[in-house]
Structure 1
Amino acid sequence: MADPTGHITQNSGTQVSLSPGTYLIHYNVEAVLETAGYLQVTPSYNGQGQLPYGVYGRTADDNVTVSGSSSFIAEVPAATTLTLNVNSSAATRDGTMTMVILGLRGGDDA
């Protein structure tokens, strides 16, 4: 769904452009790891990785689904690109990602 304000624009399956403002961001990821290993997803915006808001799943068995979700508030002082960086030690399949981004109003905007 397109943002009618134009402040949130999806660039690709893993990147979203954000105009200056405050946002509530929630995402959920899941995938099947074909072999034992891990899947790590780390959001990045304002030119920095945001490790505290990342998700990590690990399995000791083959063909197991790992999943995780995270929610956080992002202060965006200048236009930025929000990216979800994915790192995995194993081949993955049947992956899905859901993201919800809500623009929040500040006290002066109410």
Structure 2
Amino acid sequence: MPQVEVIGTTTLAPGSLASVTSSITPDGIALEFGIPQGLPGILPEIAFASFITFAASFTNATRIPFGTLTEDDTGQIRQISDTNLVIEPGYYVISYHVSALLNPQGYMQITPYYNGAPHIETAIYFMNAADNTSAYGSNTFIIRMTSVSDFFLTFNTNARATEGTLTLSIIKLRDIT
């Protein structure tokens, strides 16, 4: 029975045609392959940023203040004030966590604003049953920013809110195509 022997593989220039060279051997056939190198890939520009607040007093019906923890080097997620971001078009993962000490007992609601409107469907709501207890909530969602958009979080409560904390992380998944 004849034998098939592979004697090597050569990398060819990108865009070349693949090739197979054969030669007869005393025991059968020998093959040598030529495989074109792929074109270099282009990695998408990765955009991400994170923001924090620690030990703050939150006021009813106002935006939650925050500072930049990790700045987006691409400029697609920009902090323009102590309560407001501007986010370029694309698909994003947004994750935020808020806690505050409420006294007397009451509720807190945090409502994200993006794409020109508040979004109660991605809000946090927490109600406590005792004075001086911590309220906490978090949410993670994927959104499509259809155009350059402001982003902020509005805090609502019927109690005094102290020791407020916020962590906010935003990661761009891809551009709109």
- Normalising by the residue count of structure 1, what TM-score does the alignment of the two structures yield? 0.92
Q: For 1:65-108, what per-residue CA distance to the aligned partner results, in whole angstroms no more than 9, with x for missing partners?
A: 00000011110111011110110100110000000000112596
Q: Note if 1:62 corresponds to 2:131.
A: yes
Is 1:75 paired with 2:75? no
Q: Kindly indicate whether the alpha-carbon contact (under 8 Å) linking 2:108 and 2:158 is maintained by their aligned counterparts in 1.
A: yes
Count of residue correspondences: 108
After TM superposition, the structure 1 = structure 2 runs for residues 1-110 of structure 1, keeping only pairs within 5 Å, are 1-105=70-174
Q: Which moved more, 1:5-14 or 1:40-49?
A: 5-14
Give the distance between the partners of 1:90 and 1:107, measured in 2 at CA: 41
**In the TM superposition, what is the alpha-carbon distance from 1:12 to its structure 2 partner?**
3.4
Aligned Cα root-mean-square deviation (Å): 1.4
Structure 2 residues not aligned, in runs of 5+ = 1-69
1:14 deviates by: 3.2
Shift in alpha-carbon separation, 1:61–1:16, aligned structure 2, 3 A? same
Cα deviation for residue 8 of structure 1 reads: 0.2
Bigger radius of gyration: 2
Q: TM-score, normalised by structure 2?
A: 0.58
Give the structure, 1 or 2, with the largest relative contact order (CA under 8 Å, sep 6 or more).
Answer: 1
Following superposition, the deviation at residue 11 of structure 1 comes to 2.5
2:89–2:175 CA contact under 8 A, matched in 1: no
Q: Following superposition, which runs of at least 4 residues in structure 1 exceed 6 angstroms of deviation?
A: none
